[in-house]
């Protein structure tokens, strides 16, 4: 038997029905030595052209092993009759076979349904070697860590470069290779930069000395991990994935995981986070999706649930008491956005370089257990010094008495960090197109013939 799950969008899994193996299906020329195969149909449902769209499948293979699959498995586009680069992830053994995940990229026209055949069971097959634009190398340009940690990497495709901090594994620097190509940095300067801050939390009554800070404070970020309690790195020609997880160092009542995923040929990076209270915990703030940039951008834009787009000139500082789009600013430099804000983007109106966060998933089990507001995004405007956005998951943007979170509260979120080009004229077409892609996931069906 083969069981399928499809990653219709990055890190979104949907189980499909069970289906039988199909060793007797028609073979294409050189694929005769592969004794078993199964055909899937990938449908584009949103009237949107797809290029190199990630497709992820969870398959249960009978009568084989993970070692054999790593050599034998092939994916063929039945329209072009060409093999496409595919990446097999860790295989979990079962009594009669293995369960494994597979990723490949699909090109589809609007409303097109395209068939792909997955071949396996050829003991004579050699392990494939695919060359794509997705590459990794040891990271440089940070403080040197000895011995090097496996997550201290520069990962890039033809559009995006991501540098991961050699000490914590946090996303440290970013560059849009189709734009200016300039490395974007923030906290800590070039040698210790972290453009991604969180997730983070604050217990006002629990002060500690952060790493290399020399002062007491209550904020704790995942970029303080040194090293993270647990981590894993997956390398391949189609997908890169770095996951770090464990309790916060100084707030051990709260577990956190952060997963970064990059794909070949795509101008984005997916950030999945999870936080869970392992014991009752007194919190002032719990936040995620915090990205900060030192220079590089001078304008901001965001979309409200109604579809209305608003903006702010990041060069214009905002004192307390100012009014932005009819709302009074109650914290220095902070614009409070509408809850469940679909996306935020910073851009430069001369270079047209732009970076955005698109909020694609939000799950909160604390609702019903404690008083909980929807996730509230904000922009911190600090002029030419730096600017950042973030999202409050628990607590308020402005300081209030701390709240008691019971054991078992859990948040799972996903944001897609997208590079695009936009100079402030008209609609941000690339950003709108990718938001549409993420809101209309591919559909995958099994060939029952």
For residue 356 the two structure tokens come to: 């955005």
CATH number at residue 194: 2.70.98.10
Last residue of a domain, one of 102, 127, 152: 127
d(CA 201, CA 384): 27
pTM summary value: 0.93
Question: Residues 239, 294, 375, CA angle at the centre, nearest 5°?
Answer: 65
Kindly tell me if the per-residue pLDDT of 1 is higher than 60: no
pLDDT digits (tens, 9 = 90+) for 108-134: 999 999 999 999 999 999 999 999 999
Q: Is residue 447 part of a domain?
A: no
Residues 167 and 249 in one domain: yes
Kindly tell me if the per-residue pLDDT of 354 is higher than 90: yes
Yes or no: say if 342 and 434 are a contact pair by the CB < 8 Å rule: no
Q: Is residue 323 part of a domain?
A: yes
- Reference 236, options 88, 112, 113; nearest CA is 88
Residues 334 and 295 in one domain: yes
For residue 169 the two structure tokens come to: 């594994």
d(CA 45, CA 443): 7
The predicted pLDDT at position 22 comes to 41
Kindly tell me if the per-residue pLDDT of 371 is higher than 70: no
**Residue 343, strand partner residues:** 303, 358
pLDDT digits (tens, 9 = 90+) for 63-80: 889 999 999 999 999 999
Based on the number of CB atoms within 10 Å of its own CB, is 86 exposed (0-12), middle (13-18) or buried (19 or more)? Answer: buried
Supply the range of the domain harboring residue 23. 5-127
pLDDT digits (tens, 9 = 90+) for 9-46: 433 333 333 333 443 343 455 898 999 988 999 999 98
Residues 91 and 199 in one domain: no
For residue 116 the two structure tokens come to: 């792909």
Count CB-CB contacts under 10 A for residue 82.
10
d(CA 307, CA 284): 31
């Amino acid at each position: 038997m083969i069981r399928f799950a499809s990653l219709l969008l990055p890190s979104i899994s949907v189980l499909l029905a069970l289906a039988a193996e199909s060793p007797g299906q028609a073979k294409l020329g050189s694929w005769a030595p592969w004794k078993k195969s199964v055909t899937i149909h990938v449908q584009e449902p949103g009237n949107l052209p797809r290029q190199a769209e990630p497709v992820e499948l969870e398959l249960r293979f009978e009568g084989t092993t993970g070692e054999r699959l790593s050599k034998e498995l092939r994916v063929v586009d039945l329209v072009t009759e060409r093999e496409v680069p595919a990446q097999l992830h860790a295989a979990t053994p079962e009594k009669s076979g293995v369960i494994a995940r597979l990723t490949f990229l699909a090109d589809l026209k609007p409303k097109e349904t395209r068939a792909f055949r997955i071949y396996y069971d050829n003991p004579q097959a050699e392990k494939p070697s695919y060359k794509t634009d997705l590459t990794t190398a040891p990271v440089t340009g940070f403080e040197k860590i000895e011995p090097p940690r496996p997550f201290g990497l520069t990962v890039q495709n033809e559009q995006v470069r991501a540098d991961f901090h050699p000490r914590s594994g946090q996303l440290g620097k970013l560059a849009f290779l189709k734009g200016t190509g300039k490395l974007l940095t923030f906290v800590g300067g070039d040698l210790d930069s972290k453009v991604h801050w969180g997730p983070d939390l604050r217990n006002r009554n629990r002060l500690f000395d952060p790493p290399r800070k020399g002062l007491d404070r209550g904020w704790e970020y995942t970029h303080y991990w040194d090293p993270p309690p647990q981590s894993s790195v997956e390398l391949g020609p189609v997908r890169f994935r770095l996951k770090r997880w464990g309790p916060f160092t100084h707030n051990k009542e709260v577990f956190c995981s952060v997963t970064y995923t990059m794909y070949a040929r795509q101008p984005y990076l997916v950030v999945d986070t999870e936080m869970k209270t392992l014991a009752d915990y007194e919190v002032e703030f719990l936040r995620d999706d915090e990205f900060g940039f030192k220079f590089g951008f001078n304008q901001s834009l965001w979309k409200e649930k109604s579809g209305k787009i608003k903006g702010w000139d990041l060069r214009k500082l905002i004192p307390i008491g100012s009014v932005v789009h009819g709302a009074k600013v109650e914290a220095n430099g902070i614009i409070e956005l509408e809850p469940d804000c679909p996306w935020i983007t910073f851009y430069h109106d001369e270079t047209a370089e732009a970076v955005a966060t698109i909020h694609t998933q939000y799950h909160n089990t604390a609702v019903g257990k404690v008083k909980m507001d929807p996730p509230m995004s904000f922009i911190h405007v600090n002029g030419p010094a730096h600017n950042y956005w973030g999202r409050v998951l628990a607590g308020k943007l402005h300081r209030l008495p701390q709240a008691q979170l019971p054991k078992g509260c859990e948040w799972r979120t996903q944001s897609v960090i997208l590079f695009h080009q936009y100079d402030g004229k008209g609609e941000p077409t690339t950003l709108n197109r990718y938001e549409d892609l993420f809101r209309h996931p591919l559909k995958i069906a099994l060939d029952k013939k």
